[in-house]
Amino acid sequence: MKLKRIIAATTALGLAFAPLFAAEESKTEKALETAKDKTEAAVEKTKEAAVKTGHAVKDAAQKTGEATKEAAGKAKDMVTGKSETKTGELSASDKALLDHAAKSSAKLTAAQKTKLLEILNTGDDKALNDLPGVGMIKSGHIKKARPFKGVNDLILVEGIGEKTFDEIVVWAEGGFKVEGKMAPKKEAVKPDAPKNDMKKGY
């Protein structure tokens, strides 16, 4: 009899606490799901951050590489005396020089431009020295800047500038005459003083 009462009491207690156990189990499951969701969200954010970091590193490396190539190109141009003739890569001052050259050379005929370009690309030291305002140093710069795609590129050569370029255009327009260029003066040779052959008397 007592055993039956104990079993009944135990069963009653189990039934009474069953909802509590179910509620706690439900809370535990929800907590686990929430923790799982937060963990997955954290993993996704970590992946996104890693991808962004990878892209940033790649972009930085690419920009550094491009800057290095550009700096190397400029250094090479400075050493060789060559000027970049691509309009998109020119400085504002170089663009202004090319604009001036285009206006100045517009006076020349197609034949005059062709002849002048031939002199710039294939002329020897003598032919280059015949250009107004050009001597040995500037002719050396011109040869280093070859090949020229057009006569206007000449204005970008070191030592030329607007003034010398305009003088060369006027010279070409006038028929490429070289007699107007002054030759360097030669020092006059002084004649030997006449010798006094007379012997002194005693």
Q: What average pLDDT does range 147-165 have in this prediction? A: 96
- Has residue 183 been placed in a domain? no
> What confidence tens digit (pLDDT) does each residue in 66-118 have?
766 666 655 455 444 444 444 457 899 999 999 999 999 999 999 999 999 99
- Has residue 193 been placed in a domain? no
- Has residue 126 been placed in a domain? yes
- Domain holding 43, by residue range, is 1-80
Specify the CATH number for the domain of residue 140: 1.10.150.280
Picking from 85, 101, 81, the residue whose alpha carbon sits closest to that of residue 159 is: 81
Task: Name the domain count of the chain.
Answer: 2
Output the pLDDT for position 81.
Answer: 43
Q: Are residues 113 and 41 in the same domain?
A: no
- Has residue 1 been placed in a domain? yes
Q: Are residues 69 and 96 in the same domain?
A: no
